Structure 1
Amino acid sequence: MERITYPLLYFDIAPQVVLGFLVGTDLQVVEKDLERVKLNLGNYLQRQYKKYDDYPFVDLIDPKLRIMDFEVRPTYRDDGGSYPLSQAVKVPVAIIYGATEQDNYACHVPSLNGSFYYYEPKQFESLVQYFVTNALNQLDPPAVYKLLRYRKPKLDKVILKVNADRDFFRFGRVRPRDYPTLKRLTEPYPFPRNKRKQQSHLPEAAWELEMAVADVLDKLINTRSNVLLVGKHGVGKSAVLQQAIRKITTQSRKQQLDFTFWRIMSQRITASAKYLGEWQEQVESLVDELQSANGILWVADLIQLLQTGGEGAEDSVAAFLLPFLQTHKMQMIGEATPEQLESMRRLLPGFVQTFQIIRIDELSEDKIRSVLTQFAQYVQTRLQITLSQEAIDQSYRLLLRYYPYESFPGKGIKFLSRCVNKAQLANRSKIERADVIQEFVYQTGLPELFLRDDLLLNTRDLENYFHERIIGQSEAIARLIEIVKIYKAGINNPYKPIATLLFAGPTGVGKTASAKALADYFFGQGQKKSPLIRIDMSEFQHPGQMGRLIGSGKEVGQLIKEVRERPFAVILLDEIEKAARPIFDALLTLLDEGLLIDNFGRQTDFRNTIIIMTSNLGASVRSSIGYQETSTESSAYLSAIRKHFRPEFINRIDSVVFFNAIDSDDLRKITLKELKALTAREGFAKRQLQLLFDDSLVDHLVNIGFDKRYGARPLQRAIEQTIVKPMSYWLLENGQKQKVRLKLSWEGKLVISMK
């Protein structure tokens, strides 16, 4: 049994005369004493519940009583005009208020038979003043003076015990509460109290979007329309729907309209279907149960209805539902981006025509900051965690610059909620600017250097970073440093990828190593996965393979999948010249606008990526190992590139970076760099072995690890065969050796000696 608690406001209006108001309802009782008032109201509620299995809705948590005085001048009114009395009077009015289960606040004025909701405690005073003053001004003098006769009221409660599992009886017929199809495929909204506690502490509030909420209410209740909210990601579409649903639920219980809402993911409709026609039967059962429950279906991913069920939109779940929507046998709400709306109009125009469209634009900066401030107040009240103003301002600036493809206030609330989660886990009661920056580093991998204006770029450190990782490619290093400087200055184009580069030159000279070094510098600070997305374009040599790369129909391509998982990354399209020519055309929009949009309006954003393509075109005229690249050879590379790629493709590339052939000095530097990396491997590190490489071994690796055709690529294989394999045998035989220095030399074979 569940106990429903109703606030009871009562007045001792005369000896042995008590007037009681059941707060939140229109029920009033006059009895000899308080106990009789409570007994009378309790018995009435119990009888109604047993007869109709229904009871008045109340959602106040820990209600409070406050007596407030309001000055009013009683006025007589008739068709001829208004006739106010000469003197104003002060009227004490009892106010019942408190938080609700819907994460907002309610205020009831029983003596004036009115109530209203509000979202922030600071709104209480002004709203009560407006509401009560307006209500008192509508009363005639006798009604005003009647209020003056009331004595000081008190607050008590009335308890009703109910059984939530009983059948629902209304209008002379029994209607089952247990809807098997709805229960299996959907979840009721608002969530039940026990489930709501398991949800995120994200507020379900539509701050600064009250007009949109009112519009949804009007279309759902007054015209019984299907409603589609359209706006960019993050503008508050879901928040508006949630707020509207909660308001309708509250009103429907009070006015006995009995609306219900059911939230569904499109894929669940067909996920359990095993045989032909099964999902169609499920949809028909779903519609029948919605009619029985007076239900409205909230489809969380509306466009997926056009992708689910059949091969195309014309035989999808959306097409199957279309007749039910057109004949008003079901009511549906959903949301979409502008791109998704256009896709739905193109694929199944009749489906879109069944909806009333409400557009939600991004809020102004003042309203966005107001929403973030209200969120901070919500967190302070709910979780006792303080968000400093500096933290709010910093998050706004970072999100504005680095997440241009998402909209406020959604992206702000989502990001600050992550900061709050971290603070909870760390038992911190305040979130400062530094905490916001650290969370942003963790999410994006960007170093603090890019996020803080007070940190200056050290050019010498920057040059040393790239020279340590890239050997013998001064031109390439200079170009990478330019990209870093432009990005640090904040003057890169925010509506394109950070940079689009084509690395040209012979194989094995450091093109991939340069891409990795840039990825680590830009995005290697916080991400768990590697910030380098590497795709071998030689695997996409036929036009039919475009779907595997970009996606087609319901399938998501490799490139799209990788970028959605890691939106801050360096994308390396290796050997781009080997891809099919139609793929170049598909990449034009990506290079120019940093966006890819599929047939269903799904958008993938590349504006926080650096796109690097590598090519060996023109390598047939390269220099041999040990000789520097000449300007003639650079011209040969550029000529080969221009012959292979169309002009509109080349024009969308920021710059072509030429990589030189490796000279003899660089060969040795690369070898020493690889040997240094070898010493960090786990087997050596855990034994604390110090490896010393003799010149004879280094010279041998230089001789066998480089090839005129493949550059430095054979070096890794040479190290594995020459050093790693013999060392593995030695370690197995001498596993007890720890914290020793080993000298490795070459005397026709690897010689290992302890020093």
Structure 2
Amino acid sequence: MIKRELELAFAAAVREAQRRRHEMLTVEHILYALLYDEMGSRILMSCGADIGQLKTRLDEFFAENIEILPQNDEREIVQSIGVQRVLQRALMQVQSSEKNEVDAGDILASMFEEESSHAVFFLKSQGISRLDILNYISHGSGADAAGECPSEGCERRRAAQETAAPQQPGMLERFTVNLVEKARAGHIDPLIGRAAELERTLQVLNRRVKNNPLFVGDAGVGKTAIAEGLALKIAQGEVPPQFADKEIYAVDMGTMLAGTKFRGDFEARMKAVINELQQKPGAIMFIDEIHTVVGAGATSGGSMDASNILKPVISSGRLRCIGSTTHEEYKNHFEKDRALARRFQKIDISEPDIPQTIEILKGLKPYYEKHHEVSYTPAAIKAAAELAAKHINDYFLPDKAIDVIDEAGAALNLRPESKKGRSITPHDIEKVVARMARIPARSVSSSDKVQIQNLEQALCERVFGQDSAIASLATAIRRSRAGLGHPDKPIGSFLLMGPTGVGKTEVARQLAAVMGIQFVRFDMSEYMEKHTVARLIGAPPGYVGFEQAGLLTDAINRHPFSVLLLDEIEKAHPDIFNILLQIMDYATLTDNNGKKADFRHVIVLMTSNAGAREMATASIGFGGGAVEVAAHKGMRAVEKLFSPEFRNRLDEIVMFNALSGEIMEQIVDKFVQEIQAQVAARKVTIRLSEAARAWIARNGFSPEYGARPLARLLQNQIKNPLSDELLFGRLTGGGSVTIDLCPDAPAELKKDSTHSCLTLSVA
């Protein structure tokens, strides 16, 4: 069987013969194609061939010795007898050596039997013999692999190698970057903070054995920056004397893997790099994304990979190695290979908080000011850290804050001279964050204080009839934002109590909209069974899906500034309340990977219908004390359902009242305005008569379901006939429609009735 690469080389030889309009495919055509083949050229160069000279002599041979066919002669190319003999000998050679495929080396070795051909003459004139080719096939290093020099080609090759050796880059120059030299050249930014992590790194590197630090942290928190910062401190002489002469070499795994077509190529490069590093007493190897080493170079089903080459070297202390990886990759690769994991000392690199990020940005500010030819105000630096933490949730500080100031500088630098300002202000930062987070600019630019000051008014304009509940909620949030709350707890933890359909979930949704933060909702009816608790924080090892993060912890890690709604909390399994105790007390939750989710910037809202029935029966009748009695009965029901330790960790239990007729009319107006917004693009205006408004409010309310039936009533009585008019009737080109009550409309509409009780008058 012929190897795929060799088939391509033969096809190239045929195309070359056709291009030159030759009648036959000769041995010289095959040699010419092999000069362009990767394996063929590598073998010949290893045996001392001058590839360029061979190409030139073959070109001259084709031009002077082979007849060219006329232009109108389109006969097929046929193989010469010499080519057929070469192929036959190569096949016999492969069969005798028990190989599976014929490759370029077999063809070159068989070619030497054609002693009368010009191809063999050209090869021999460069001192290459058949034995050179066979030695390379057997040992991979040409004729001198066996310690002898059977031909003058070996002598020529050795002399050429000795002459060219100083010009050829070594393995370290090809596959690594000297970070200390890079720092001396001024191409590394300074490391701000991270003193504890840097000290721990130096301690590990100074050990006798297992002196290999492994940085584990989220993408963008500064793992690579610590290694580069260490190199910068070595270059500046700011390290203990034991590290004054050390050099850090960053291995480029992409370059090392590139072009490794054959089994063993990658391992050979890796071994060569390690050997050269071991010859340098002060060398420290740094492998970024070290999880790519696990499995690199391994064949399918094989156990040998690059990590097994590293293990004996790094465990003995002969070579120091620094690695970096993420929590997920550490769990997926290192925890499965315990022998590799125990040779490294894990150093957790956590995300810096906002004050630390501001200090990092201040340290990097001169470099970005010089690059973009702008200046950053202190307020802009502070805004970059705060707004990036609040609105950009795809990656982590300080990386995303650095991206913000970098992009703000780039945007200002690209402006025309007439519009270009000298300094970047918080307003510029706000526009950049809005673009990067893909959110409206007003959500970023509006002041947080203004939002909180007008929070109660804004919520009352969107949710009707719950002024007292909204006031309690807004007061607690203002208290927390004023700094009078506990710094290690969520912004607020509230239990929203009341009948169904009165606006508990809507308050949570509108609170997130008004404050411009993410709304995260979990329906706790999905977590009624014990085993579903693991979905929130992730399954433990050994269970299906344990590689995946928990739904709750993952949502908060992606949206650290958010409103978290746990809907219908009374339906959740009791074990979930134990998780909530930790959240409400310490604002942290640890997932199955050991990674902590931070709830300090989260508003936790839980809704419940517990006590709704008792509140409804107590509020029947007249008198000023009816509401107080209903609230008291509702609280007693809450005390029965929720444990004392759960209730004591709540900031407040907010009671929602049942809706009245006046409130229902306001809700009707809100829903009709939403319909008006939907049809505004079709140039249609809607007017609702007072009679229709009162009738909809009366029939859209249910003591049992609150305002939930209203949406279904509007769909049947307004949206369905309106859609026909918009598509096929009098409103296809726009117009004004007045909705009025039918004269024969019943005062109380029967349940599930689809009888039309409203009229649509189009003008």
- The question of a shared fold, defined as TM-score above 0.5 by the shorter chain, is answered with yes
CA distance in 2, matches of 1:366, 1:717: 50
CA distance in 1, matches of 2:528, 2:306: 36
Contact 2:477 2:491 in 1 (8 A): no
Contact 1:560 1:604 in 2 (8 A): yes
Amino acid at match of 1:688: K
1:11-33, CA deviations, whole angstroms, 9 ceiling, x for partnerless residues?
xxxxxxxxxxxxxxxxxxxxxxx
1:221-279, CA deviations, whole angstroms, 9 ceiling, x for partnerless residues?
9979322347899774421213456899999xxx9999551358xxxx9xxxxxxxxxx
Matches within 5 A, 1:8-407: 204-207=189-192, 225-229=211-215, 236-244=222-230, 259=249, 261-262=251-252, 289-294=269-274, 296=285, 298-300=287-289, 325-327=314-316, 332-335=321-324, 353-355=342-344, 371-395=360-384
Q: Please, which of 749, 752, 755 is the counterpart of residue 760 of structure 2?
A: 752
Go from structure 1 to structure 2 and tell me whether the alpha carbon gap of 1:188 and 1:374 turns closer, same or farther (over 3 Å shift).
same
1:714 deviates by: 1.2
Contact 2:464 2:663 in 1 (8 A): yes
Matches within 5 A, 1:534-549: 534-549=521-536
1:605-637, CA deviations, whole angstroms, 9 ceiling, x for partnerless residues?
222221111011112223279979622222222
Go from structure 1 to structure 2 and tell me whether the alpha carbon gap of 1:494 and 1:422 turns closer, same or farther (over 3 Å shift).
farther
1:445-489, CA deviations, whole angstroms, 9 ceiling, x for partnerless residues?
897899859x66795x54432221121112211112213423553
2:464 maps to 1:471? yes
1:362 deviates by: 10
Gaps of 5+ in 2: 1-47, 49-159, 238-244, 278-284, 299-304, 540-545, 746-755
1:721 deviates by: 1.3
Paired residue for 1:711?
A: 706
Q: Please, which of 502, 513, 520 is the counterpart of residue 509 of structure 1?
A: 502
The SS at the match of 2:677 is: coil
The SS at the match of 2:512 is: helix
Bigger strand fraction = 1
1:324 deviates by: 6.8
Paired residue for 2:655?
A: 658
1:422 deviates by: 4.7
CA distance in 2, matches of 1:376, 1:626: 66
Task: Name whichever of 370-379 and 498-507 sits farther off.
Answer: 370-379
Contact 1:502 1:657 in 2 (8 A): yes
Q: Please, which of 602, 609, 617 is the counterpart of residue 610 of structure 2?
A: 617
CA distance in 1, matches of 2:644, 2:562: 27
The SS at the match of 1:555 is: coil
Paired residue for 1:734?
A: 729
Task: Name whichever of 688-697 and 394-403 sits farther off.
Answer: 394-403
Paired residue for 2:566?
A: 573
1:218 deviates by: 9.8
CA distance in 2, matches of 1:512, 1:622: 19
Go from structure 1 to structure 2 and tell me whether the alpha carbon gap of 1:740 and 1:205 turns closer, same or farther (over 3 Å shift).
same
1:373 deviates by: 3.9
1:147-187, CA deviations, whole angstroms, 9 ceiling, x for partnerless residues?
xxxxxxxxxxxxxxxxxxx9999999x999799xxx9xxx9
Bigger helix fraction = 2
CA distance in 2, matches of 1:568, 1:244: 34
Go from structure 1 to structure 2 and tell me whether the alpha carbon gap of 1:557 and 1:393 turns closer, same or farther (over 3 Å shift).
closer
CA distance in 2, matches of 1:330, 1:396: 39
**TM-score by structure 2 length?**
0.58
Q: Please, which of 667, 677, 680 is the counterpart of residue 680 of structure 1?
A: 677
Paired residue for 1:550?
A: 537
CA distance in 1, matches of 2:498, 2:399: 45
CA distance in 2, matches of 1:490, 1:445: 28
Contact 2:291 2:329 in 1 (8 A): no
Q: What do you get for the CA RMSD once the two structures are aligned?
A: 5.6
CA distance in 2, matches of 1:319, 1:373: 43
1:657 deviates by: 0.6
Amino acid at match of 2:489: K
1:309-333, CA deviations, whole angstroms, 9 ceiling, x for partnerless residues?
9xxxxxx999998677535698642
Go from structure 1 to structure 2 and tell me whether the alpha carbon gap of 1:535 and 1:383 turns closer, same or farther (over 3 Å shift).
same
1:551-584, CA deviations, whole angstroms, 9 ceiling, x for partnerless residues?
2231123323332332222111100111111122
1:378 deviates by: 0.9
Gaps of 5+ in 1: 1-50, 52-165, 197-201, 270-280, 310-315, 525-530
Amino acid at match of 1:730: E
Percent identical: 26
1:716 deviates by: 0.9
- Say which one has the larger Rg: 2
Contact 2:537 2:590 in 1 (8 A): no
1:705-751, CA deviations, whole angstroms, 9 ceiling, x for partnerless residues?
22221111111111111111111011112366545321011314231
Matches within 5 A, 1:445-464: 461-464=454-457
**TM-score by structure 1 length?**
0.58
CA distance in 2, matches of 1:361, 1:708: 52
Task: Name whichever of 391-400 and 212-221 sits farther off.
Answer: 212-221
